[in-house]
Amino acid sequence: MATLNLNYDKLQAGYLFPEIAKRTRAFQAEHPDAKIMRLGIGDTTEPLTSSVIAGLHRGVDKLADVQTYTGYGAEQGNTELRQALADRYRGLGVSIEPDEVFVSDGAKPDSANIQSIFGVDNIVAVQDPAYPVYVDSNVIAGRTGQWKDGRFQGLVYMPCTADNGFIPAVPEGKVDLIYLCSPNNPTGAVATREQLKTFVDYARNVKAVIIFDSAYAAFISDPELPRSIFEIEGATECALEISSFSKEAGFTGVRLGWSVVPKALICENAEAGKVHRLWNRRQTTMFNGASNIVQEGGLAVMSEAGQRECAEMVAYYMKNARTIKDGLETLGLTVYGGVNAPYVWMQTPNGTSSWEFFDKLLNEAHVVGTPGSGFGPSGEGFFRLSAFGHAEDIEAAVSSIRENLAL
Ligand code: PL4
């Protein structure tokens, strides 16, 4: 008799982003003439740059010729691309070998899958609020109890509040897996070297593993801020990193990311090399490699021209972030993030709940955002606006908020 994994029953009703889409569709059906402006999902809107398009074309052309045709590639990714990514880390002063880099189809699958190589009894700590995949993948794996009073039993929530600048302190007790995301989704906060060092010191001390999501690293302009956890001394012994081409290069639909699992990484019952071997085993067993066409695109992103063009695209989105931040501040709203990250994190006015504000903003200004409470209990009373959009749409949305939102 087959049975289901009933951990799925513990999950909250809908995954956050489909829920937003559902409510937006319902509003549009009731108000067919309303022009809805979407600053909700962090999804790129600008076309791929010319070098990257040329790279993708190269990938297609290779498939048209028997001399250059390739079928299955290495599950861990194209050798040249792994080398290019290792070189990027070298540029940050970090020594990562190409075979410590695993190319994937994105940071979402990697951040959901990575937990599978760790014991089911591991205690998990997450930033609160956090990208929902970290929590939900561990709920599904059975590392939490039931949902009670707005949180999962057994999960350690590290509150990110205005008081701590949205970067939490290390957990008080002993935890085993720690998810950190910097630049942060949803708060837009970026951890300093000193802040990351407190986590590295903690993790080395208790043999915990930090799962560091750097999907938004390209949005950091402050040279003092770390773009990788591996910039912190000792991090290769206690951290792995997950990252993505999605936001840096506009690959949200193209799909390409990577993880770095250092051979030096250890945990309680694994000597150096074993975590790396297990992730390699997991990927070679359950993943058949990223698309060869897309990896050619990734190589183009990593080229000098690709990096220059993608930096311009990142700057374009960051100009949008400034437009949102300035517009909301002009209204007297309390706003965070949006400086080294593409998300603006605002306090909801007059004590409205995050979902009440979602409805209010949609009804009054026809703007869609993301309720902070969807990212965790400490997100209640906050709201996220995404800077990924055409500049003219972002400007129209901010104008509509300024003209139509009743405060
Ligand atoms: C909507 C911290 C966005 N359907 O594109 P990927 O898989 O390389 O990266 C996904 C990802 C990974 N890590 C962090 C992220 O914020 C994201 C993307 N998040 C958002 O609006 O929060 C898109 C979400 C998508 C989803 O469910 O991921």
Kindly list the structural domains of the chain, giving each domain's residue range(s) and its CATH number in brackets, ordered by start. 6-47+306-401 (3.90.1150.10), 52-302 (3.40.640.10)
The HSE-up count of residue 38 (CA atoms within 13 Å, CB side) is 16
Distances (CA, A) of 132 to 128, 129, 248, 372: 10, 8, 21, 11
What is the SS3 assignment for 331? coil
Stretch (H or E) spanning 376: none
Is the distance from CB of 297 to CB of 310 less than 8 angstroms?
Answer: no
At 205-222, the pLDDT tens digits run: 999 999 999 999 999 999
User: How confident is the model over 143-171, as a mean pLDDT?
Assistant: 97
**Quick check: 7 pLDDT over 80?**
yes
Average pLDDT for residues 179-200, to the nearest whole number? 98
How high is the pLDDT of residue 258?
Answer: 99
Which amino acid would we find at residue 7? N
Ligand 1 pocket check for 185: Cβ under 6 Å: yes
Tokens of 292: 């060869």
CB-ligand 1 contact for 255 (6 Å cutoff) = no
Q: What confidence score (pLDDT) does residue 216 get? A: 98
pLDDT confidence of residue 125: 98
Which amino acid, residue 104? S
Strands 370-371 and 101-104: unpaired
Is a pLDDT exceeding 80 seen at residue 381? yes
How high is the pLDDT of residue 149? 93
Structure confidence at residue 16 as a pLDDT band (50, 70, 90): confident
Residue 252: CB within 6 Å of ligand 1? yes
* Confidence label for 377 from pLDDT (cuts 50, 70 and 90): very high
> Using 50, 70 and 90 to split pLDDT, how confident is the model at 19?
confident
Q: How far is the CA of 325 from the centre of ligand 1 (A)?
A: 21
DSSP state of 268: T
Q: Which long-range contacts (CB under 8 A, 24 or more apart) does 87-95 make?
A: 88/302, 89/228, 89/230, 89/260, 92/227, 92/228, 92/230, 92/231, 93/231, 94/228, 94/230, 94/231
Contact 265/209 with Cβ under 8 angstroms? Answer: yes
Q: How far apart are CA 257 and CA 345, in angstroms?
A: 25
How deeply is 13 buried, as exposed, middle or buried, from its count of CB atoms within 10 A (0-12, 13-18, 19+)?
exposed
Ligand 1 within 6 A of CB of 244: yes
Furthest C-alpha separation in the chain: 66
Hey, which of 11, 85, 108 would you mutate to test ligand 1's pocket, going by the most ligand atoms within 8 Å of its Cβ? 108
For residue 248, what is the enclosing H or E element?
Answer: helix 246-249
DSSP label at residue 170 = P
pLDDT digits (tens, 9 = 90+) for 279-326: 999 999 999 999 999 999 999 999 999 999 999 999 999 999 999 999
Least confident of 7-16, 42-51, 214-223, 378-387: 7-16
Residue found by looking up tokens 């935890």 in the block: 175
**pLDDT, position 12:** 86
What is the whole-number distance in angstroms between the Cα of residue 171 and the centre of ligand 1?
25
Give which of 251, 247, 261 is closest to 298, Cα–Cα.
251
What pLDDT was estimated at residue 24?
95
Average pLDDT of the chain to the nearest whole number: 97
pTM of the model: 0.98
Distance from residue 293's CA to the centre of ligand 1 (Å): 22
User: Of the residues 19, 114, 185, which should be mutated to test ligand 1's pocket, given the most ligand atoms within 8 Å of the CB?
Assistant: 185
**Residues 6 or more apart whose Cβ sits within 8 Å of residue 315:** none
| 38-58: average pLDDT | 97
pLDDT of 13 strictly over 80 = no
Ligand 1 contact, 108 CB (< 6 A): yes
